[in-house]
Structure 1
Amino acid sequence: MKRIVVFFLMMMGIAMAKGQDVLTLRKVVGVAEVNVTVAEGSAPQLPFQVWVTYDDGTAEWRTVRWMNALADVEREEADAKQTPRGTRYDVPGYVVGDNATSGGFPIVAHVEVTAPGSAAGHVVVAEPLPLNKVQLIGENRLTKNRDMDIDHLLSLDVRQQLYNYHDTYGLPTDGYPVADGWDSPTTKLKGHGSGHYMSALAMAYASCSDEAKRQQLLDRIRTMVDELRACQERTFVWSDSLGRYFEARDLAPEEELRQLGGKWSDFDRYKKDFRHYGYGYLNAIPAQHCALIEMYRAYNNEEWVWAPYYTVHKQLAGLIDIANFVADKEISAKALQIAKDMGLWVWNRLHYRTYVKKDGTAEERRQKPGNRYEMWNMYIAGEVGGMAEALARLSEMASDAAEKTHLLEAATYFNSPAFFDPLAQNVDAIRTRHANQHIPMVTGSLRINRANASIQSPDISSDYYYNVAQNFWSMVQGRYRYAMGGVGNGEMFRQPYTQMLSMATNNDPTLNETCCAYNLAKLTKDLNCYNPDDARLMDYYERVLYNQLVGSINQQEYAVLYQYAVGLNASKPWGNETPQSTCCGGTGAENHVKYQEAAYFANDETVWVALYLPTRAQWDAKGVTLVQECEWPAEKSTIRVAEGKGRFSMKLRVPYWATKDFDIRLNGKSLASEYQPCSYVEIPLRKWSKKDVVEVVMPYKRHLDFAPDKMEIDQRRTAYEPRWAAAVMEGPLVMAATGISTWEEATLKPGQNLAALNWVPDYNADRHITHYFRIDAPVEQNGNADTSVLKSLMQMAKNRMNAQQAWNELVVKVPEHAPWAEHGYKRMAEQYEVAQQVLKDEAEGKVGTELARRVDQTSAALNAALNTMRPGNLAEPEDLQPLTVLMEKLRGKDFRSMSQEERQAMRYAQMVTRYVNDGSGTMDMIKRAVSQLEPLVE
């Protein structure tokens, strides 16, 4: 932001007076003007929140919705030919939650395009104090969750995690329980859970203060490492004909690769030839699974693949975490060696057998196997998890120069140009993508930036990898996140600024995948290393940690969440009891043994107190131990130097939600008379001793977190009068209400007594909870219809119709599926025709309140149609009809009297139904479920 000028406006704001516990209205009298400079070749990064001042003298941050989110507009802004240096233009936007207009309170960002800056790059400023140097202390929700997680990990049979490896490498499986969940012998994601298990063990070891339990954790870690190395060594096979060891590049030469099968019968054959997986291959499934993606084989567990490199990443990450956190040098060294050997297998395979071709049609790009542009742009099949991050970390840990180079080069092989290139220009490439497929890729991009890997790619600027991450994070904050910090619906990103529409039209009020929260927290932590003074980062980290992550473990017995409960009358769908049960079972096993990993950041002279958690932190570089004493969640915290003496400065975060009563005192003296929310306050460089006491006073106050769009339609397509919607917050905590089952009950009116509702912090909530409420405040109608939103929606619809038509005209269908699924496309086309008629009426001179109402209603209907469309590779609820008929025929039968085959088929059918309704099921899943049920019904 170039500069900020405060100007005065009259605007209605909504807030809650906690003392009176009623919903009240306030007028905004000041809003910060937004002036932004942007380098030529990029779209501007506009603030996702602005500072507003109310007529009662209070002020707060409010969310902004910018009107340049249409893909065509962003591409034009990022095109140096269309928007060259020297250009000045305005981007309109709205402060959401305000009723000055139907879109909110109008504001403008003034943008100036400048010459590209020097290629200095971005560097790390501070690092988090390591996980094993920070301990949670006291008795509180955090330590209870941690201990429950540790005890559960110790209850699991380590031998079950090794079953697939024995099976894949020709070793006896006697005495090894068969793996289950998504690591079962009939799922091609097997190995992912074992990787998460290793990470969770390592993090639990780092976080556990009970020495007996630490020893038990270490015993399990040692077993995993020893057995995995024994499996890996079975690939160290010398070839006399090649004059070297058999390597990854030798597996499935091109002619063989083109014919390589992906059925289970094929994999039964592959695992008999483990000697030719290639030197260093370590995975719970034969190496052909990784090779198949080079032929662009689709996500299909029965016929082809299920995210081959995703599972590789989980296992690499587990081994790296062991190497970093386990004190036993023999174990940590062996874990690192296993990871390096597998990382070099990846380099060998991708270096010799793959390439990047960006130009041409999809058909042309796929003429030759191994085009990474296409491989990593495929739905789920191309999901690679954090491969780039893991390989970049391995490069940092390697001592051999050649290994360092190869591992870092391998990390860059997981660049996804179709996704990264637009993001590097701040063009939103997030919309409609699989959420958790892409978040870890961005974290990998940031890790590559640490090594300035662009020197290996002359066509990539030094800022490329950093910009991918920073731009992505900023877009998520403004356009996609929910109040609890989560993102996604049915595993997918939807359209920007459509959180309420996406939530309200979902078939089930569980929509934010917990893996996404896990990975966004990781990305935020890593970005904070570059910008530790930017409090927006740790404000978000606090939001997602205190709400979704802490709230994703059951307090009664160990169970975690896949999709998080968000919405009307939602209940948390507990399950995922093991790391291998699902992807979120895996991240769930890690989440609760690493709450403290971003509590403190430090460099040579400064420590940043980023989170107010009850902790004991060793800062080895300064020889001091800090103790932070507080409850959790905390409205007051005390920080002391418990051991040692040192000279350093300390920076403490002032959260975005801080009130006028927020205060920081050093030895009883306040540091300032007032504090700016969303900032850091510094205690300058000084010598610290045990006598020094820092007190942070941070009383919570109730406020609203507005969604960027209105609640105007529900899952039954029932239309509501458009109203802003918001989550009720107490400081950083989302407050959920129980006993609400309809949107009428979830509508708050100005002057309403909020004490009449039963509120509970979301992290502590469970059944039948509501998070968002319609705010029944009137729009200040001026009688004129604002068609700007409708026109932008129509342009989006037109672009989709053009893409669908272009695919229909292809003789050879590449990709194999249409851009958009049939039923949603039809609904969108119908609403587009209605919108055309409304604009025609406006062009003919019709004006007034009635036309304004029609414009709003038509915009809502078209927006709903657009946002509920699915990519052509995904099934729609209408496609479930043949499966539903079969399920109904069996449903009358007592489940207890069903045969084992019938129960398994019915469970699978129920799972497929959930997946399809949530928006992530595919047609092959429906076909498989139908094929299992048909013989039983007959």
Structure 2
Amino acid sequence: MQSFDLQDVRLTDGPFKNAQDVDMTYILELEPDRLLAPYLIDAGLPVKDERYGNWESIGLDGHIAGHYLSALAMLYASTGNEELKTRLDYMLSELERCQNANDNGYVGGIPEGKVFWERIHTGDIDGSGFGLNNTWVPLYNIHKLFAGLIDAYRFTDSEQAKSIVIKLGDWFVDLIAPLSEAQIQNILKTEHGGINESFADLYMMTNNETYLKTAEKLTHKAFLEPLLNEEDKLTGLHANTQIPKVLGYEKVAELTDDKELAEAVQFFWRDVTQTRSVAFGGNSVAEHFNPVDDFSGMVKSNQGPETCNSYNMVRLSKALFLDHNDVSYLDFYERTLYNHILSSQLPEKGGFVYFTPIRPNHYRVYSQPETSMWCCVGSGLENHTKYSELIYSHNQNDVFVNLFIPSTLNWEEKGISLTQSTKFPYENQSEIILNLKNKQKFIVNIRQPEWAENFEILVNGKVQKMNDKPSTYRSIERKWKSGDKITVRFKTSTHLENLPDGSNWVAFVDGPIVLAAKTSTEDLDGLFADDSRMGHATHGKYIPLDEAYALVGDKDSYLSQAKELENLHYSLDSLELQPFFEVHDARYQMYFQTYSAGEYKEKQAILKQQELDAAALEAKTVDKVSCGEQQPEVGHLYKGEKSYSGYDEDRFWRSTRGYMSYQLSNKNREGQFLDISALDDITLENIDISINEIPAEIISSENKTIRIKLSDNELVNVKMSSTNDKPTPRFYELRILKD
């Protein structure tokens, strides 16, 4: 099974074509010279424009440029717009100029990159946090450049991009050559993106065995080992640190015919898609994999599934489908494409979503070109450029129709063109008209999705007799001629889908389309992101969960409460359900609790008290940081040495044999106390704690919590050190309280 080149397929009018057009506008609003500024700075060259702010100025400098290369290349291939190619060529020429100035093959935008990489080269490595040597995910950062350069070559045949990335690859091979396996594994503890995949790609581009060996050397063994044993050890791990590793494993497995590694990849995919993904295809809460038997944290959080996770799970699903010719991978791909990827961009003015909460009556935040430089902006730039990548596929002679998306296909090599016209999901049919240079015999394979009922195919108006086998292909072999018309018709039905933990939260799903209801436009604080560090997360108030809509009655009545209107809209009492990808600029409800009439009041009373307790604590909280969670730690300027994090007892934590520090904000000096909480008993003699470089005034230490009296400062720099080179307790939270 092979995919067609993006150049071979063109989208036509529909939601996906609109998303592609809106993405192009956003891409063209970004200024190449501002994206390139970190690279010029690191190369010692004068900048042509100031660099962007936000994440591009606080440690992840240069990462968006790598995504931008990929987006330009793929969108150019998908549309043929010459302005995109002009920008791509300019970006490449400037990167080559930086590479030449560095004179060793290196090019990058990482702050103080030359000093940083020299420390790594000499074996001075502290991989005890998600970052490396107190630098924000530098390997993740440079992987984006590797991927962007590789995409520029893959989709536009740019020899310049190939030259730059080969020199960069050779530099990296030399960089890690002196390091022992233990040192490399220490590096790989930190978030490193898909750097292993990039070296597998370099091998595919050059047939240079060194690159394949490097890809294998960059295998994070502590993560892979459980997968090889088909053990789920994902809970508590940072989700998008892990998924790109698996993309690399998948490619290496195919290149080396490593069946054990291939099976580990498939185990990971099954585990994430079947036990860790919600109805719209996303996974994780606050960027981390939650327990498979408890999704309550996701239900309560404003930081639901991250778009980057789905970006990479879609990529993994595509790779597995092409390698194994198994349409079950397409079922997940399709579900995630329609419900998460398509919904992650504002369809009118543009802007990308980072977190998609499933918390009832909450909302999402959209990026803006001048203020937002998050990881999900980078992957978002790419997401909407390549919708045509898997609508069709082929083997040596035959065509496979995988998705019902309006588009045209031109298989020039075979003299086969076709046009697919469909209004799916609003209408349950698709029409395909063939345009051939000559009459010829081949097979057209139409995917029958798992959700399609009463599936039938007509050729020139005549129904084709076939076995009904959902989640497979229906094959039509004949001698085709120009003008032949294939009509695909089917039905869909609405069903309720529980959260994977089996709790009483359900979502309405019609066919592959997740439905949700707009509930209000109240207090959408930060709907369009500012340039703050956490601008990608919502700041508006939480509506108590006990005020959410619920389904009450007999189980058999839940589904019947939704009354069909038109265009996939349903009335549900006072709500109107509609496709989630249509829901924007509003609070919404996707998941509903289900109760029998007898248990409703009792369960709601318990939920109400839980919400009151949580609200009371937040009301007296000025600032807090969850130890061991990536974004809260970055947002609070975490630094540390000999420090380690983990997940136990349903909490993230961090411990240190050296030191760990954070900067918290005591806004308006309202906070009177700092509480430091741990999972373990605390012995104060083994810990030094300072506040703004002054020994802390400890009031009490009981119930595994240290309480510290705060002075009159708006910035609270907290440093905790081990006094005996032994691990401190596992600290899970620092919280500034008003009383």
Q: Which residue of 1 aligns with 2:589?
A: 770
**Number of aligned residues:** 589
Shift of 1:313: 1.1
CA offsets, 1:526-569, max 9 Å, x none?
A: 0001222x221111011100011000111342211111132311
Q: Which residue of 2 aligns with 1:472?
A: 268
Kept in 2, the 8 Å contact 1:577–1:585? The answer is: no
Q: Which residue of 2 aligns with 1:594?
A: 386
CA offsets, 1:756-777, max 9 Å, x none?
A: 2311211011211111112225
Kept in 1, the 8 Å contact 2:130–2:137? The answer is: no
Q: Which residue of 2 aligns with 1:233?
A: 100
Shift of 1:632: 4.4
Match of 2:428 among 611, 623, 635: 635
- Which segments of 5 or more consecutive residues in structure 2 lack a partner in the other structure? 521-542, 563-570, 600-639, 673-712, 719-737
Q: Which residue of 2 aligns with 1:434?
A: 238
**1:178 maps onto 2:178 in alignment:** no
CA distance in 1, matches of 2:669, 2:322: 52
**1:206 maps onto 2:18 in alignment:** no
Shift of 1:296: 2.4
Shift of 1:465: 2.7
CA distance in 2, matches of 1:597, 1:578: 29
Distance change in 2, residues 1:354/1:620 (3 Å)? farther
Match of 1:312 among 139, 142, 145: 142
Q: Which residue of 1 aligns with 2:91?
A: 224
Q: Which residue of 1 aligns with 2:484?
A: 692
**1:739 maps onto 2:519 in alignment:** yes
CA offsets, 1:702-721, max 9 Å, x none?
A: 1112212244xxxxxxxxxx
Distance change in 2, residues 1:817/1:166 (3 Å)? closer
- The aligned amino acid for 2:24 is I
**1:336 maps onto 2:162 in alignment:** yes
- Secondary structure class of the residue paired with 1:639: strand
**1:389 maps onto 2:197 in alignment:** yes
Match of 2:40 among 166, 177, 183: 166
Kept in 2, the 8 Å contact 1:561–1:576? The answer is: no
Distance change in 2, residues 1:623/1:886 (3 Å)? same
CA offsets, 1:161-201, max 9 Å, x none?
A: 1111111111112x3222322222x31x2121000111111
- The aligned amino acid for 1:649 is I
Kept in 1, the 8 Å contact 2:129–2:645? The answer is: no
Q: Which residue of 2 aligns with 1:493?
A: 289
Shift of 1:319: 1.1
Pairwise mapping of residues 542-621 of structure 1 onto structure 2 (< 5 A)?
A: 542-575=334-367, 577=369, 581-621=373-413
Kept in 2, the 8 Å contact 1:579–1:588? The answer is: no
Shift of 1:693: 1.7
CA distance in 2, matches of 1:770, 1:481: 17
Kept in 2, the 8 Å contact 1:524–1:538? The answer is: yes
Kept in 1, the 8 Å contact 2:496–2:508? The answer is: yes
Q: Which residue of 2 aligns with 1:502?
A: 297
Kept in 2, the 8 Å contact 1:488–1:512? The answer is: yes
- The aligned amino acid for 1:655 is P
**1:449 maps onto 2:320 in alignment:** no
Distance change in 2, residues 1:881/1:201 (3 Å)? closer
- The aligned amino acid for 2:653 is P
Match of 2:188 among 358, 376, 382: 376
Shift of 1:147: 0.9
CA distance in 2, matches of 1:158, 1:536: 40
- Secondary structure class of the residue paired with 1:305: coil
Q: Which residue of 2 aligns with 1:92?
A: none
Kept in 1, the 8 Å contact 2:429–2:488? The answer is: yes
Kept in 2, the 8 Å contact 1:657–1:677? The answer is: yes
Q: Which residue of 2 aligns with 1:193?
A: 64
Kept in 2, the 8 Å contact 1:626–1:639? The answer is: yes
Shift of 1:144: 1.4
Q: Which residue of 1 aligns with 2:24?
A: 150
Match of 1:759 among 544, 552, 577: 577
- Secondary structure class of the residue paired with 1:429: coil
CA distance in 2, matches of 1:641, 1:887: 71
Deviating more after overlay: 544-553 vs 573-582: 573-582
Kept in 2, the 8 Å contact 1:490–1:511? The answer is: yes
Distance change in 2, residues 1:734/1:135 (3 Å)? same
CA distance in 2, matches of 1:302, 1:373: 12
CA offsets, 1:864-919, max 9 Å, x none?
A: xx3xx113369xxxx999745656479xxxxxxxxxxxxxxxxxxxxxxxxxxxxx
* Greater gyration radius: 1
Distance change in 2, residues 1:887/1:531 (3 Å)? farther
CA distance in 2, matches of 1:570, 1:191: 32
Q: Which residue of 2 aligns with 1:353?
A: 178
Pairwise mapping of residues 253-272 of structure 1 onto structure 2 (< 5 A)?
A: none
Q: Which residue of 2 aligns with 1:680?
A: 473
CA distance in 1, matches of 2:27, 2:587: 30
**1:726 maps onto 2:506 in alignment:** yes
Pairwise mapping of residues 407-426 of structure 1 onto structure 2 (< 5 A)?
A: 407-426=211-230
Question: What TM-score, normalized to structure 2?
Answer: 0.75
Q: Which residue of 2 aligns with 1:51?
A: none
CA distance in 1, matches of 2:655, 2:343: 33
- Secondary structure class of the residue paired with 2:458: strand
Distance change in 2, residues 1:576/1:356 (3 Å)? farther
CA distance in 1, matches of 2:188, 2:594: 42
Shift of 1:373: 2.5
Shift of 1:301: 7.4
- Secondary structure class of the residue paired with 2:304: strand
Kept in 2, the 8 Å contact 1:290–1:309? The answer is: no
- Secondary structure class of the residue paired with 2:305: strand
Q: Which residue of 2 aligns with 1:122?
A: none
CA offsets, 1:759-805, max 9 Å, x none?
A: 1211011211111112225999xxxxxxxxxxxxxxxxxxxxxxxxx
Q: Which residue of 2 aligns with 1:896?
A: none
- The aligned amino acid for 2:366 is W
- The aligned amino acid for 1:654 is Q
CA offsets, 1:367-421, max 9 Å, x none?
A: xxx2x233212xxxx21111122221121112xx5xx211112211221111112
CA distance in 2, matches of 1:540, 1:819: 30
CA distance in 2, matches of 1:144, 1:738: 22
Kept in 1, the 8 Å contact 2:67–2:145? The answer is: yes
CA distance in 2, matches of 1:653, 1:521: 18
CA distance in 2, matches of 1:159, 1:673: 57
Pairwise mapping of residues 893-912 of structure 1 onto structure 2 (< 5 A)?
A: none
Distance change in 2, residues 1:819/1:162 (3 Å)? closer
Shift of 1:578: 6.2
Kept in 2, the 8 Å contact 1:619–1:625? The answer is: yes
Distance change in 2, residues 1:582/1:282 (3 Å)? same
- Secondary structure class of the residue paired with 1:518: helix
Question: What TM-score, normalized to structure 1?
Answer: 0.59
- Secondary structure class of the residue paired with 1:695: strand
Shift of 1:302: 11
**1:529 maps onto 2:396 in alignment:** no
**1:651 maps onto 2:463 in alignment:** no
- The aligned amino acid for 1:217 is L
